[in-house]
Structure 1
Amino acid sequence: MTIQAVMFDFSGTLFRLEQDESWLADLTDHDGDPLDVEAQAELMRRMTAPVTQTVQFDDEHRHAWENRDLDPALHHKIYLEVLRQSGVPRVEQAKALYDRLIDPAEWNPYPDTGPALKALNERGVRVGVLSNIAFDIRPAFGAHGFDAYVDEFVLSFEVGAIKPDPAIFRLLLDRLGAAPEHTLMIGDSEEADGGARELGCAFALVEPLPTTERPDALLAALREHSLL
């Protein structure tokens, strides 16, 4: 099967949010004590978990969690609640950390993101980025010059649908002018990104590891589908 288009997830696939020590250095818990290393690591995991609900919510916050990637206001609301339940009770600290989460400049590309996108562009393969997200990620690509290799961005908060809803995959396929049977979806979530298979797309799973621990998973996925 000839692949003529590739759709990529964003978080944990092309880019990853990775804090530096200064982000969490001044955070304090309910008793005013600094968060220890384990607490800091768990905090970041909860902020970047793509699908899994990591804390317990009442009905109001459950609605916000389920719709967070459709509405920036709900995204803000629920992540402040996640931070509060995760040991960051001071609102000003939680807001400062949340601002890091939604700042595209804070997201790091995987080592092979640029090479993979460039290789596809040079082969004439159409490229789309499809993300469940509540803020504009295009500046992250522009900062590295990767935007030149992406034909279409479909972001959930802009289009009113979230993966694995077939509608959001179909929208990107239409914008790319690609048939599903000639399209590959690459992502880090079997549940969300793997939904592309329902339409007949091929799917490659990558692990959302730290960028220093995953040097070439994207290139490997392209090779497996004869795109390199």
Structure 2
Amino acid sequence: MSSKKKPKLKALLFDFGGTLAFLDFELLAREFSREGRKLDALALEHAEYAGREAIDRHLMSPGNGQATSAAYEHFFRGWMTAAGIPEEEFQECATRFGAIHREATLWRVVRPGVFEALEAFKSAGYKLAIVSNAEGQVEADAKRFGLAKYFDVIIDSHIVGVAKPDPRIFQIALERLGVGPDEVKFTGDIYSIDVEGARAAGIEARLIDQHRRYTWVEHEKILHIRELHRIEGSGSYGRD
């Protein structure tokens, strides 16, 4: 009895915020601090996991479907609560967050190793794509941060009219890349949006968990995009 050979990997797909570019926690810690309550950037980043847990629990609860707009409200409340910010300040913080983000995206920190990983993947011959839930600015942000040159396709939910976890956004990426779902891998930072969306499209997915705090779901996790796939001859990328 012969086993069916697995198709060759041809492309790697990435979420944008929290995967390629990260929140500016230093700036947010300053913005959300008050007299007598100084926030620490790393503590604020760790607290953000509570927001991810809230969004996962909301989207994975029966009857909540794929209404991500409501889910992001759960995300912000969960995050602020874990950060020790009083509920009466939530609206003020949300307003300030939105104002800064509209002016220049808050997912603006490209962390060490990201460029090197993308360069290695690109040099190895893989097609690369971004699949992001955003407000129409992802391509411009990717250009501004020096990331766009690595990508063959950049999919922004606002522009294509469908958002993760709807598998159709992944299908758009596959069509534009000219590959099948079994020829790609994807990574993102929110299980219910990124991983479940990719899996619904038949795509193998990894979950970014940079601080090893994503404890409420059982799924293969990676610390950095370089772990998404091992490149032959390189011991520094991946663990496949």
Q: TM-score, normalised by structure 1?
A: 0.68
Query: What's the CA shift string for 1:111-142, capped at 9, x where partnerless?
Result: 22211222222222111111122351223322
Measure the CA separation in 1 of the matches of 2:184 and 2:101.
Answer: 30
**Is residue 180–residue 201 contact of structure 1 (8 Å, CA) maintained in 2?**
yes
**The one of 19, 41, 49 aligned to 2:25:** 19
1:197 to 186, 196, 199: 199
Shift in alpha-carbon separation, 1:155–1:48, aligned structure 2, 3 A? farther
Instruction: Report the counterpart of residue 137 of structure 2 in structure 1.
Output: 136
User: SS in structure 1 opposite 2:230?
Assistant: helix
Task: Give the 3-state SS of the residue equivalent to 2:129 in structure 1.
Answer: strand
Counting only pairs closer than 5 Å after superposition, residues 169-208 of structure 1 correspond to structure 2 as 169-195=170-196, 196-208=198-210
Q: Deviations over 1:82-121 (max 9, x none)?
A: 5897443675x65333233342375111322211222222
* Alignment: residue pair count: 204
Secondary structure, aligned partner of 2:192? coil
Contact 1:13 1:208 in 2 (8 A): no
Alpha-carbon distance between aligned partners in 2 of 1:137 and 1:178, rounded to the nearest angstrom: 22
- Taking a change above 3 Å as real, the CA distance of residues 197 and 105 of structure 1, as seen in their structure-2 partners, is closer
Q: Deviations over 1:190-215 (max 9, x none)?
A: 322223123322222221449xxxx9
Deviates more, 1:44-53 or 1:137-146: 44-53
CA distance in 1, matches of 2:20, 2:177: 19
CA–CA separation in structure 2 for the residues paired with 1:18 and 1:10 = 14
User: Out of 3, 16, 20, which is 2:9 matched to?
Assistant: 3
Alpha-carbon distance in structure 2 between the residues aligned to 1:226 and 1:194? 28
Match of 2:101 in 1: 101
Residue of structure 1 in register with 2:230 after alignment: 223
| Partners of 1:185 and 1:209 in 2: CA distance | 19
Instruction: Say which structure, 1 or 2, has more relative contact order (CA 8 Å, 6+ apart).
Output: 1
Deviation at 1:179, TM superposition (A): 0.7
Give the 3-state SS of the residue equivalent to 1:222 in structure 2: coil
Q: Secondary structure at the match of 2:8?
A: coil
1:185 Cα deviation after fit: 0.8
Q: Deviation at 1:49?
A: 3.7
Quick check: 188-197 or 172-181, which moved more? 188-197
Paired residue secondary structure (1:223): coil
Shift of 1:157: 1.8
Contact conserved, 2:128 with 2:152, CA < 8 A, in 1? Answer: yes
Shift of 1:173: 0.8
Whichever residue aligns with residue 54 of structure 2, its letter is: T
Specify the SS of the correspondent of 1:185. strand
Query: In the alignment, is residue 146 of structure 1 matched against residue 154 of structure 2?
Result: no
- The residue type equivalent to 2:160 in the other structure is V
Separation in 1, partners of 2:230, 2:210:
19
Contact 1:15 1:109 in 2 (8 A): yes
Cα RMSD, aligned residues only: 4.1
Structure 2: runs of 5 or more not aligned: 1-6, 59-63, 213-221
